[in-house]
Structure 1
Amino acid sequence: MENLRVLELYSGIGGMHYALKESGIPAHVVAAVDINTTANEVYRHNFPDTPLWSKSIEGIPLDDFNKLSVDVILMSPPCQPFTRLGLQGDIRDLRTKSFLYILDLLPRLNRLPRFILLENVKGFESSSARDLLIKTLMEGGYRFEEIMVSPTSVGIPNSRLRYYLIAQLSTETFSIQACSKILDAFPHPAESDSSEQPTVVSPAHPGSSQLDKDTEEGHFLYKLETMAEVQRKKNQNNDLSVRLIQGFLEPQSERNMEQYLLPPKTLLRYAMVMDIVQPTCRRSTCFTKGYGRYVEGTGSVLQSCMETEMQSVFTGLDQLSDEEKLQRLMKLKLRYFTPREVASLMGFPQSFSFPEHIPTKQRYKVLGNSLNVMVVARLLRLLVS
């Protein structure tokens, strides 16, 4: 196959670019486009030779797109208009303006791209923006497949359920059948068994299930967990197709992990709603851009002292004074995953790094806005093979 010319829109920190490299497809990114200055710094640091356009997509004229003459468009448009916890403004949200511009531009290109891959949050599949995308693709002669998968389906112990669309101009030999329903596993007969896709309860806000006082069942264990929640986590930890978290952790020394320990105030306030995982778990919840600043619903925290049993800490915890609670909770040495560990759980290779001056909070933020590299790499192989 000849070297494909790729346009990476909403390029962020380069998740799509890394996925392209991981896929092994002969291709090069002719331009990456993003307006986020921090993300662009990280992108330039990792891909210094890729032309990076630091401008709004809707500000780029049709002529400039035509000059690129691309074979592939990769894009991950802003998710806020579609996220379950947002206002769900859909196409009324100004943040969809650039995406609507792309849909308007696509049919007018001198040469249509042969392949398109789009990633977005769960919720996009029922939006008007998605309906417009499908209409544009069908009118342009594309065949497409829609898939909702989580990184657990490629053996990564992290829930990040996302919507993906892969499309190809139907003049090509197209091995993927366009399908009216959204698949919940990779569309490959040999690999779409049910074990690939464990049940994921809204990973965009995992803490909420712990907060719902499930009075119908009346079951409460330590923390505010229902029996259903406990069983779901147990099932995920028993899925041997998923790797252990310990394989994604940085080598620990007391000194370098000190800064990631949860502060006392946070422990006291959020102990009952945190999602706590251990190195031997095969699960963690979705890391969002608020990780490290907020606790509830932004991603799991790690128990780094394994000599202490979690149950012994949480049993009767609510009966204790703040001082006693703190003494108990501190024994677990709960810490945030480091940015490097979050990057690993999102499939970024060890060669990926941040410029030294980028603060930890900003690192979490740009990672939370990115995507899972391994999932996209697999979809790209499927699309282009």
Structure 2
Amino acid sequence: MAPLRVLELYSGIGGMHQALKDSCVSAEVVAAVDVNTLANEVYKHNFPSTPLWAKTIEGITLKEFDRLSFDMILMSPPCQPFTRIGLQGDVSDPRTKSFLYILDILPRLQKLPKYILLENVKGFESSSARHELLQTLQTCGFKYQEFLLSPTCLGIPNSRLRYFLIAKLHPTPFSFPSPGEVLTRFPDEDLKELLKDKVADSLDEASSSLLCKEKNLDPSTGPDCSSKKNVAKGAFLFKLETAEEMERKCSQDNDSSVQVLKDFLEEDNEGMSQYFLPPKALLRYALLLDIVKPTSRRSTCFTKGYGHYVEGTGSVLQTAEDVQLESVFKCIEMIPEEEKLMKLSTLKLRYFTPREIANLHGFPPEFGFPDKVTIKQRYRLLGNSLNVHVVAKLISFLLGDRGS
């Protein structure tokens, strides 16, 4: 069987390409398309033999698309128009223009692709753009299935709830019968195991959404998206968390179906000193941080502002594991600043490194960045990327009956 010819749109740093490789499907990416110069540098660094088109999707003509003769489209359109805590411009947002162009082009192709996989944020499933997508797929004769999934479903200790769609140009429906339903689990997973999850992702996103709406903030572009400043004081245990939040985090850490974070961490070395939180950040944001240990089985979603903004952009790591959080935070607001800083410093809090976030996203050890890409830029690029393992599994489902 000839290798699948794959077109990768909005290719970024190559998360879809990596997932395709990990799915062990015989395939060739015939073109990757993205306008982000820095992301393209990283893509070329890791996939040097793939033709990379640094141009807008709207700048690709129907004739050029036809010439590629692709069997599959992998795409992750801009998510900002659909974030539940953003402006929700949807189809009126200029950043949706390229996606609508794809939907216009698709029915006019000389040869329709056999397979499509799309990734976006939670919120896309209720958008007008999604309605346009489904209408186009139905017109073209595609069977499709939608999902809302997080890496926690695969035992990865990171909450990153995302919308996915897989579609195939095949008369036979998918083997898992869920027409019109957005699945919140993989079709082959045991329901009993799933009920533990991993509802936590929805809770995290819902509480974050509410607070951000009150502050009119977008978590992908600015700070303070999951702060708990508005939680009633009577519910505080320590830090700014309610009893329910504490209980949920404890439940996640006791879920043995999820790996521990230390499986994804780098070895301690001298270079780690640059990742420790500075005193100013400790004093200002200590009560708002999501603090995890290497033995934890959870971490919050890492956004593109991680390492630059402190609040609401991702968890921080407590490297002094023997120090109890309760003892540090007890009455901490009542003590002088100097003493407060001394207590907080005993936790030895640091940011996750870009390599560690890449590990949690499923990028293999050999995946790297050109030396000229700064740490801040690496965080930004990874925050805009996706979980490779989740996409690889969806590709396997999508191509499961290939050739039948």
Category of TM-score, reference length = shorter chain = over 0.9
Q: 2:235 aligns with which of 219, 230, 241?
A: 219
Q: 1:287 aligns with which of 302, 305, 313?
A: 302
Does residue 301 of the first structure (1) align with residue 302 of the second (2)?
Answer: no
Displacement after TM superposition at 1:306 (Å): 1.6
Secondary structure of 2:81's aligned partner = coil
Does residue 40 of the first structure (1) align with residue 36 of the second (2)?
Answer: no
Quick one: distance in 1 between partners of 2:194 and 2:320?
A: 36
Q: 2:293 aligns with which of 259, 278, 283?
A: 278
Query: Are 1:245 and 1:278, in contact at CA under 8 Å, matched by a contact in 2?
Result: yes
Quick one: distance in 2 between partners of 1:189 and 1:122?
A: 21
User: Aligned letter for 1:197?
Assistant: K
Name the counterpart of 1:341: 356
**Structure 2 alignment gaps of length 5 or more:** 210-223
Name the counterpart of 2:333: 318
Query: Are 2:32 and 2:52, in contact at CA under 8 Å, matched by a contact in 1?
Result: yes
**Closer/same/farther in 2, CA of residues 210 and 231 from structure 1, 3 Å limit:** farther
Query: Are 1:208 and 1:297, in contact at CA under 8 Å, matched by a contact in 2?
Result: yes
Quick one: distance in 1 between partners of 2:110 and 2:57?
A: 18
Secondary structure of 2:370's aligned partner = coil
Name the counterpart of 2:82: 82
Does residue 106 of the first structure (1) align with residue 106 of the second (2)?
Answer: yes
User: Aligned letter for 2:102?
Assistant: I
Does residue 62 of the first structure (1) align with residue 62 of the second (2)?
Answer: yes
**Closer/same/farther in 2, CA of residues 178 and 59 from structure 1, 3 Å limit:** farther
**Closer/same/farther in 2, CA of residues 267 and 190 from structure 1, 3 Å limit:** closer
Displacement after TM superposition at 1:60 (Å): 0.5
Does residue 377 of the first structure (1) align with residue 378 of the second (2)?
Answer: no
Name the counterpart of 1:8: 8
Displacement after TM superposition at 1:177 (Å): 3.8
User: Aligned letter for 2:70?
Assistant: V
User: Aligned letter for 2:368?
Assistant: S
**Closer/same/farther in 2, CA of residues 364 and 84 from structure 1, 3 Å limit:** same
Displacement after TM superposition at 1:310 (Å): 1.3
Quick one: distance in 2 between partners of 1:222 and 1:199?
A: 20
* Residues matched between the structures, number: 383
Query: Are 1:209 and 1:229, in contact at CA under 8 Å, matched by a contact in 2?
Result: no
**Closer/same/farther in 2, CA of residues 141 and 284 from structure 1, 3 Å limit:** same
Question: Deviation string for 1:45-93 (max 9, x for gaps)?
Answer: 0000000000000110011110111111000000000112211100000
Query: Are 1:210 and 1:225, in contact at CA under 8 Å, matched by a contact in 2?
Result: no
Name the counterpart of 1:262: 277
Q: 2:373 aligns with which of 351, 358, 365?
A: 358
User: Aligned letter for 1:345?
Assistant: L
Query: Are 1:210 and 1:229, in contact at CA under 8 Å, matched by a contact in 2?
Result: no
Quick one: distance in 1 between partners of 2:194 and 2:331?
A: 42
**Structure 1 alignment gaps of length 5 or more:** none
Query: Are 1:244 and 1:280, in contact at CA under 8 Å, matched by a contact in 2?
Result: yes
Name the counterpart of 2:121: 121
Name the counterpart of 1:235: 251
Question: Deviation string for 1:206-245 (max 9, x for gaps)?
Answer: 8655515443x93211100001111111111111111000
Question: Deviation string for 1:289-315 (max 9, x for gaps)?
Answer: 000000111000000112321111100
Displacement after TM superposition at 1:335 (Å): 0.4
Question: Deviation string for 1:231-287 (max 9, x for gaps)?
Answer: 11111111111100000000002x211000001111111001000000000000000
1:125-164 correspondence to structure 2 within 5 Å: 125-164=125-164
**Closer/same/farther in 2, CA of residues 297 and 209 from structure 1, 3 Å limit:** closer
Query: Are 1:277 and 1:303, in contact at CA under 8 Å, matched by a contact in 2?
Result: yes
Quick one: distance in 1 between partners of 2:122 and 2:78?
A: 13
Quick one: distance in 1 between partners of 2:314 and 2:350?
A: 12
Displacement after TM superposition at 1:188 (Å): 2.7
Name the counterpart of 2:267: 251
Quick one: distance in 2 between partners of 1:211 and 1:80?
A: 23
User: Aligned letter for 1:366?
Assistant: L
Name the counterpart of 1:186: 186
Name the counterpart of 1:51: 51
Displacement after TM superposition at 1:197 (Å): 3.0
Secondary structure of 1:271's aligned partner = helix
Query: Are 1:62 and 1:109, in contact at CA under 8 Å, matched by a contact in 2?
Result: yes
Quick one: distance in 2 between partners of 1:149 and 1:236?
A: 16
Secondary structure of 2:79's aligned partner = coil
Name the counterpart of 2:200: 199
Quick one: distance in 1 between partners of 2:30 and 2:175?
A: 26
Query: Are 1:90 and 1:127, in contact at CA under 8 Å, matched by a contact in 2?
Result: yes
Query: Are 2:32 and 2:53, in contact at CA under 8 Å, matched by a contact in 1?
Result: yes
Secondary structure of 1:281's aligned partner = coil
Quick one: distance in 2 between partners of 1:293 and 1:31?
A: 33
Name the counterpart of 1:169: 169
Secondary structure of 2:179's aligned partner = coil
Question: Deviation string for 1:123-142 (max 9, x for gaps)?
Answer: 10000000000000011100
User: Aligned letter for 2:296?
Assistant: C
What is the CA RMSD across the aligned residues, in angstroms?
1.7
User: Aligned letter for 1:256?
Assistant: G
Name the counterpart of 2:213: none
Secondary structure of 2:171's aligned partner = coil
**Closer/same/farther in 2, CA of residues 67 and 208 from structure 1, 3 Å limit:** closer
Identity %: 59
Quick one: distance in 2 between partners of 1:104 and 1:177?
A: 29
